[in-house]
Amino acid sequence: MFAGVHKIFALPRLRAFARDESGASIIVIGLSLPVIIGAMALAAELSYWQQHHRALQNAADAAAIAAATNNGSNYASEAKAVATLYGFHDGTGHVQVTVASSATAPGCTANCYSVTISDAVPLYLSSVIGYQGNTAIGNQRGTTLTASAVATVNPAYSYCVLALAGSGAQGITSNGAPKADLQGCNTMSNTGATCHGHNLNANVGDAAGTDDGCGIQQNSNAPTVSDPYAGHAANIPADSCNGTYPQEPAKKKDPPLPADNQWSGSMNLGTGTVVVCGDQQLVGNTVLNNTVVVIENGQLDTNGYTLQGSNLTIVFSGANNASYQHIPSGGGTIDISAPTSGDWSGVAIYQDPSLTTNVDISAAGNSPTWDITGLVYLPHSSVTFSGAVNKSSNGTECFVIVVDNITINGTGSIFAHDNNCSATGLTMPRGGSRGTLVN
């Protein structure tokens, strides 16, 4: 009897227990907890790995660009130094920085520089789910993270102002020049460049030494640029003046220049390359086209008039004699465009690089005014640039000046933003190495 009573009372309790869900979540949580902890651990670990890999990638990108920009024999040390700045010192701890230069690389077809940086990081919570990594860090397991980058040497800047600075002088100087405007122009000095009061509004200012304020973008320690136009001197014919070089009268009693040395009107000196002797002076507005004029031991004095010409090159040559000037001088205007083909392609004015005496110009672009399409080559000249350079009335917009050193005054202007030198037959000076990330 008692057994039957017990069954009667036990059945409802069993049914109630079966329907009671109190504490069920504890069981579910208990069963799920390892999975939840593992997922949280893996998420935290992955977040850390991702952050560390991003740091590795940033370092690799910067190091590859540095190697390509260096583009020299010590490119590897340059890249590793940059990686160190990002906190990844080659050989320290588990950091390895590998730098290579090759003709081709992924995403790169020439002048390729690749950097790979690896580092091992310890495992923490991810081991809860059984991940053991791929390396050992002391007594602890770890995983190796790797980042790679490839950069190439992009085309270097073209310069419309190049200071060769063979004399050792500071190549580019500007003192208090708030109005100077070299819009669209890049400048290069093979020594230093200092611009006080204004950056000249040049797009890029490069200097092999220190660039102090020149250019909207300023780069110091740029590679020097060799003289790209010295070889044109081989095209200068032999002196045929037989030692006679008439000079402008220094005194009233001095004889005037011969008639052949006085230019006016539409002139025809001959075709090809023509040698004239001594000073040449304009006595009226002059038109001279389609020739190369070599002035032996003399200056070109515009004398307040305009020299206009197309397909015209003026060459100054002769001896390093204190009696002779080898420059354009006088008031007036030089309005000329260079030839677009031949030995003197793109060259408007050229000083023989063997000349080092009486080659300086104190008021370039102002006395006379320069409206020039092409190259003005003054490799040993100290030039004070005061005026504005506009394109020739017969040419497109292209102007390049090569000097020993140049001082740019407040009114100095070169508007080269539509520079079209390739159409004039002139290859502009180029220099520097600029790394560009490609992969």
DSSP notation for 82-112: HHHHTT--TTSTT-EEEEEEES-BTTBSSSE
Tokens representing 297? Answer: 């031991």
Global pTM reads 0.71
pLDDT score recorded for residue 137: 86
Q: Tokens representing 131? A: 């991940």
CATH of 36-154, one of 1.10.3470, 3.30.1300, 1.10.10, 1.20.120: 3.30.1300
Q: Look at 421 and 335; give whichever has higher pLDDT.
A: 335
Biggest alpha carbon–alpha carbon distance for the chain: 161
Beta carbons of 82 and 58 less than 8 angstroms apart: no
Residue 433 confidence (pLDDT) above 80: no
pLDDT category of residue 211 using cuts at 50, 70 and 90:
very high
Q: Quick one: tokens of 52?
A: 């560390």
What was the pLDDT predicted at 271?
80
pLDDT band at 84 (very low <50, low <70, confident <90, very high): very high
Asked if 400 contacts 425 with a C-beta cutoff of 8 angstroms, the reply is: no
Q: Is the dihedral angle over the CA atoms 199, 204, 208, 210 positive or is it negative? A: positive
pLDDT over 80 (residue 187): yes
Give yes or no for a contact between 104 and 112, defined as CB atoms under 8 angstroms apart: yes
Q: pLDDT grade, residue 99 (50/70/90)?
A: very high
Q: Which two tokens stand for residue 288?
A: 């001279």
In the chain, CATH 3.30.1300 covers 36-154
pLDDT for residue 93 is more than 70: yes
Q: What is the pLDDT of residue 389?
A: 87
Write down the mean pLDDT value for the chain: 88
* Amino acid letter, 422: S
Residue count of the chain, please give it.
Answer: 439
Mean pLDDT calculated for residue range 245-266: 92
pLDDT of residue 72: 82
Q: With helix as H, strand as E and coil as C, how does the chain read?
A: CHHHHHHHHHHHHHHHHHHCCCCHHHHHHHHHHHHHHHHHHHHHHHHHHHHHHHHHHHHHHHHHHHHHHHCCCCHHHHHHHHHHHCCCCCCCCCCEEEEEEECCECCECCCEEEEEEEEEEECCHHHHHCCCCCEEECCEEEEEEEEEEEEEEECCEECCEEECCCCCCCCEEEECCCCCECCCCEEEECCCEEEECCCCCCCEEEECCCEECCCCEEECCCCCCCCCCHHHHHHCCCCCCCCCCCCCCCCCCCCCCCHHHEEEEEECCCCCEEEEECCEEEEEEEEECCEEEEEECCCEECCCCEEEECCEEEEEECCCCCCCCCCEECCCEEEEECCCCCCCCCEEEEECCCCCCCCCEEEECECCEEEEEEEEEEEEEEEEECCEEECCCCCCCCEEEEEEEEEECCCCEECCCCCCHHHHCCCCCEECCEEEECC
Residue 54 has pLDDT above 60, yes or no: yes
- Tokens 């005194």 map to which residue? 251
d(CA 76, CA 175): 39
